[in-house]
Amino acid sequence: MILASLAAAVLLAQATPAPSARLSNSARETLYKRTVQLMEASTVATPELARAGAPLIEDARQAVVNLHAQGWNESYDYRFVTAVRVFLELADAVPKPFPFPETARAQMTELRDNLLRAQAGFTAALEHQARSLHSPDPVDLARFADDNIRLGPPKPGNARVVFFGDSITDFWRLNEYFPGRDFPNRGISGQTTGEMLQRFQADVVSLQPAAVVILAGTNDIARGVPLTAIEANLTSMFELASFNKIRVILASLLPVNDFNRAKDPNYERSALRPPATIVQLNDWMSRLCREKGCTYLDYYSKMVDAQSRLQAGLSDDGLHPNGGGYRIMAPLVQDAIARSLAPAQPARRRRRLPF
């Protein structure tokens, strides 16, 4: 599929060289939405194009909807680029009024430029995907390799706790919130639980921590990973930690909100991370901790509003905590660490009655 799409993209772009820079999700969505607007506007001056091009406009519009809802996907990208290219071929073939309106001419020029940008972005995205598939380090083990060596063994009297997760952990400046504590940050932005599981030995077990705080799963949900697969990965992390006598603190997923989508369309978070799915995974994690004896860290209930959204003011993009969000999280995780590392209380012996 990837090679076939890549070949198609190369054929599409071979006539006119275009920049090979990848498009960010935000830039891609902005470009594609503008392109659909231009396709619609260009039919005003050419009624025949309006009739013949309607299915292509709808195909491009649906590709934009899918890209917005599910993120970049080679098939959606290819569908969009193909629809625009065929639309332009139709535009060249159908009869046009004379003189052709200058506004319509400018729209067609911008539309052709947008197609070149879309083709170049599509090709670059596929090339990046192909490189990632053949990467010698697909889960980014090299990210912390040197840090792990420099860290050395834990020091007596200062329990080491590894914070392990995705971007929400990665962006947390732990040394500012927990000065003097041995809290290595091993979060990597964008990772799923499957990717984290592959580096659990290198970035958690090998550091010999007393405990690990695992905050993971939101990227899996956004990418359509089944809950059963997420649960299996988290369970495997728990088993690996337990086998190595590492206490596990399993953190709930944070709620999300769409408050800032007017600032950036990508800040509409609930479409990819449905609140009900977040609650479902959190409930499973809570049950796992009750059954297995790990510590459940409930960020969710302290950060959610009455409409099951991340409270306004705790995030600037609807997903990642800002300073206010991390200030709520810090005492919660401190309490969870204290509970996790507290010595087990011996069971009280029942007094035998004399009769």
* DSSP-derived secondary structure for 161-217: EEEEESHHHHT--HHHHSTT----EEE-TT--HHHHHHTHHHHTGGG--SEEEEE--
Average pLDDT over residues 12-29: 58
Average pLDDT over residues 64-81: 78
Cis peptide, bond prior to residue 138, ω within 30 of zero? no
Nearest-angstrom CA–CA distance, 115 and 111: 6
CB 210 within 8 A of CB 154: yes
Q: How confident is the model at residue 122 (pLDDT cuts 50, 70, 90)?
A: confident
Nearest alpha-carbon partner for 294 in 348, 339, 233: 339
**Would you state the pLDDT for residue 11?**
40
Q: Does 189 score more than 80 pLDDT?
A: yes
Q: Per mean pLDDT, which range of 51-55, 211-215, 278-282 is the poorest?
A: 51-55
**Would you state the pLDDT for residue 136?**
78
Compare 184 and 4 and report the one with higher pLDDT.
Answer: 184
Tell me: the pLDDT tens digits for 98-118?
888 899 899 999 999 999 998
Report which DSSP code applies to 345: P
Nearest-angstrom CA–CA distance, 298 and 253: 8
271 φ/ψ angles, rounded to the nearest 5 degrees: -65, -40
- With b for 16 or more beta-carbon neighbours within 10 A and e for fewer, the 326-347 pattern comes to beebeebbeebbeebeeeeeee
- Burial of 192: CB neighbours in 10 Å, binned 0-12, 13-18, 19+: buried
**Would you state the pLDDT for residue 5?**
42
> What's the whole-model pTM score?
0.64
Show me where the domains of the chain are located: 2-132, 141-341
DSSP count for the chain of H helices, then E strands: 15, 5
Average pLDDT, whole number, for the chain? Answer: 88
Q: How confident is the model at residue 212 (pLDDT cuts 50, 70, 90)?
A: very high
Nearest-angstrom CA–CA distance, 310 and 308: 7
Average pLDDT over residues 231-260: 96
For residue 44, the Cα-to-chain-centroid distance in whole angstroms is: 39
Q: How confident is the model at residue 75 (pLDDT cuts 50, 70, 90)?
A: confident
Class of domain 141-341: alpha beta
**Would you state the pLDDT for residue 134?**
66
CB 10 within 8 A of CB 130: no
Average pLDDT over residues 161-175: 97
Q: Per mean pLDDT, which range of 18-27, 39-48, 129-138, 304-313 is the poorest?
A: 18-27
Average pLDDT over residues 6-20: 40
**Would you state the pLDDT for residue 68?**
75
Average pLDDT over residues 75-95: 86
